[in-house]
C-alpha cells in the first residue's frame, strides 16, 4: 500500500527564541505564511556566552514579534 503525502500550507508559523534559518529562505515563504518570533525568556547574555551572538533585548516591548508576511516579500 502506497502512502499518501499531505501538505499543509499554514497561514502563520511561530518560531521560538531566535528565527530559524530555513524559515527565512525565500523558497520557504509559501510553506511558512506569516512568521512570528516568540519569547521564551532566554536572556540575551546566554546567547553571547554560549554562542558568541550579541543581541539587543528584542522582546523589550512585546513577547511576540511578526518577522514577515508573504505579502511583504
What is the band of 73 on the pLDDT scale with cuts at 50, 70, 90? Answer: low
Going from N- to C-terminal start, the domains of the chain cover 12-72
Q: Which residues of 54-73 are buried (b: 16+ CB within 10 A; e: fewer)?
A: eeeeebeeeeeeeebeeeee
Write the pLDDT tens digit of every residue in 8-61.
889 999 999 999 999 999 888 889 999 999 999 998 889 899 999 998 888 989
Amino acid at each position: 500500500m502506497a502512502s499518501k503525502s499531505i501538505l499543509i500550507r499554514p497561514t502563520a508559523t511561530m518560531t521560538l527564541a531566535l528565527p530559524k534559518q530555513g524559515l527565512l529562505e525565500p523558497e520557504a515563504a509559501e510553506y511558512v505564511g506569516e512568521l512570528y518570533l516568540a519569547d521564551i525568556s532566554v536572556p540575551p547574555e546566554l546567547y553571547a556566552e554560549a554562542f558568541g551572538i550579541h543581541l539587543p533585548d528584542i522582546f523589550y516591548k512585546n513577547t511576540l514579534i511578526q518577522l514577515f508576511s508573504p505579502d511583504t516579500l
